[in-house]
Amino acid sequence: MTQDDSARNHETIFPLENKEIFEDGFAGIFKDAKRGLRDALDLILIHNEHEVRGKQPRSTLNPLTLLLSIAAWERFISDCGSLLESLTRENSNSKIKYFAGPGLHSTPQGSAYLAHDRKTTVPRSVDTLRNLTDGRLPGGFRIRGFMSWTGKYPTNPVVYRGLEVAEPLGEAIRYRNGVAHRALPQLPAISDAENSTTIQAGYARAVFALTMQLINQSSIIISETNGFRSIHRLDSEWFHGHPSLLRGYENPGTLWPKDLFEETSNLA
């Protein structure tokens, strides 16, 4: 039995009358998230086009890569929450009567975080993941992160298990906010240059890798848990350090050092 066959035989967490609505709604959310990640990936590919050193116009791509990466995750998890509320509104105080589509519902404040400073409250994102995966997430996350960088490449890999990923994600969201509000001087420098108010290329790629894995693993487990007709997952070449073809480019350049980044979509 294939993984897809196993998924189809799994009972959905929703009543049968809502299963098709949920599956179609999530398919749209995943497609939109993939488009959002592609925007960030395109900036990385543009960054790869020419090898230069010192101050360079391409440094402008780094904060935008970070911003688009977090935006893709934030919209994905927020829309998942809205879809869930639309299907369970009889048992909640939700004002969402139906799911209108990706990007058409407001984003609750702090919806991208997996942990709050106030330890007594559970973020909406955590509740959403637990409900959509029958408790498999966020505890089942296995996310490859990076503790440092060399030039444009993230280095010093680690694996975050479960909600350990909340800390680096929260840091990345704060830097996203700094970019969006031009408030980076208020945050510790993330750059090779001392007292810089920009984002270092290797860190931007590490954030893209983080959000890519969060969306990919969430989509796989949501698909499996709810018995979808097919498993939603990102393209495998996105996980390769040296892809031969990507986004229509032949030899698109190195995304991550080969010995540091490996696909983590096949979860135990």
Q: Could you report the per-residue pLDDT of 72-125, keeping only the tens digit for each?
A: 999 999 999 999 998 886 555 556 678 889 989 988 888 899 997 666 688 999
Residue 266 lies in a domain: no
Question: Is the predicted pLDDT of residue 140 greater than 50, yes or no?
Answer: yes
Residue 267 lies in a domain: no
Residue 84 lies in a domain: yes
pLDDT of residue 83: 94
Residue 256 lies in a domain: no
Residue 17 lies in a domain: yes
Q: Which domain holds residue 220?
A: 3-250
* Structure confidence at residue 230 as a pLDDT band (50, 70, 90): very high
Residue 83 lies in a domain: yes
Q: Could you report the per-residue pLDDT of 158-199, keeping only the tens digit for each?
A: 999 999 999 999 999 999 999 999 998 888 877 665 556 779
- Domain total for the chain? 1
C-alpha to C-alpha distance for 238 and 65, rounded to whole angstroms? 15
Mean pLDDT estimate for the chain: 84
Residue 263 lies in a domain: no
Residue 25 lies in a domain: yes
Burial label, 247 (beta-carbon count in 10 A; 0-12, 13-18, 19+): middle
Which residue stretches of the chain are H helix? 3-8, 16-47, 61-87, 124-132, 166-180, 201-225
Question: Is the predicted pLDDT of residue 130 greater than 50, yes or no?
Answer: yes
